[in-house]
Amino acid sequence: MTVDVQYYVLLSMAVFCIGLFGVLTRRNALLFLMSVELMLNAANINLIAFAFYHGNLTGQLFALFTMALAAAEVAVGLGIILVLYRNFRDVDVTVPTTMRW
């Protein structure tokens, strides 16, 4: 038996909303990064679900690209967080506001 595509979409939406909630409410930069990962994976679920639904492998292929991208993004993000910590002795994203104007 197969699961209908709408359940995948619901799952994906739930994961995305959890990620978005994290981005909007958390102050810790590490949690920020995790929330972004959640949103990316929500997109991956969508891609794979629709690829399966259409019987087309392109979506799965793109999911792989997205994973590679996410890995790169984590590397850059963690680098930024390290520098942030070195400068401000904190990973709270509300602290470094001096670069605005």
Partner 1 sequence: MAATATGLGFAPAIAVFPLVAFVITLVFGRHLPKKGALPGILATAGSLVISLVMFAAVAGGATYHTMLYEWTSGAATSETMAEGIEFTFGILIDPLSALMLVIVSLVALLVHVFSLGYMNAEGETGLRRYYAELGLFTFSMLAFVFADNLLMAFMFFELVGLCSYLLIGFWFRTESAPSAAKKAFLVTRFGDYFFLIGVVAIAATFGTVGFAGEESFVTAAETAIDDGATLFGFDAQTWVTITGLLVLGGVLGKSAQFPFHTWLPDAMEGPTTVSALIHAATMVAAGVYLVARMFGYYALSPTALTIIAFVGGFTALFAATMAVVKDDIKQVLAYSTISQYGYMMLGLGVGGYVAGVFHLMNHAFFKALLFLGAGAVIILMHHEQDMWEMGGLKDKAPVTYYTFLAGALALAGIVPFSGFWSKDEVLFDALAVGLEQPVILAAYAMGLLAVFFTGFYTFRMVFLTFHGDPRSEAAEDPHSVGWAVKVPLLALGTLAAVAGFVNLAPVAELLHADITFLEFWLDGEYGAVDGLTYHAYHETVAFEEGGIGSETTTMLLSAGLSLGLALAGAFTAHTLYNVPEPSRHTTKLGGAYRVLKSNYYQDEYQVWLAEGLMLPLARAADRFDQTVIDGVVNGISTISLFGSDRLKRIQTGIVTNYAALLVGGFIGLLLVLGYLGGWFA
Residues that bind partner 1 (CB under 8 A): 20, 23-27, 32, 93-94, 96-101
Please return the burial class of 53, using the count of CB atoms within 10 Å of its CB with bins 0-12, 13-18 and 19+: middle
DSSP lists the bridge partners of residue 92 as 28
CB of 57 to partner 1, least distance (A): 30
Nearest CB to partner 1, comparing residues 39 and 70: 39
Which of 2, 98 has the CB closer to partner 1? 98
Q: Cβ closer to partner 1: 68 or 76?
A: 76
Amino acid (one-letter) located at 55: G
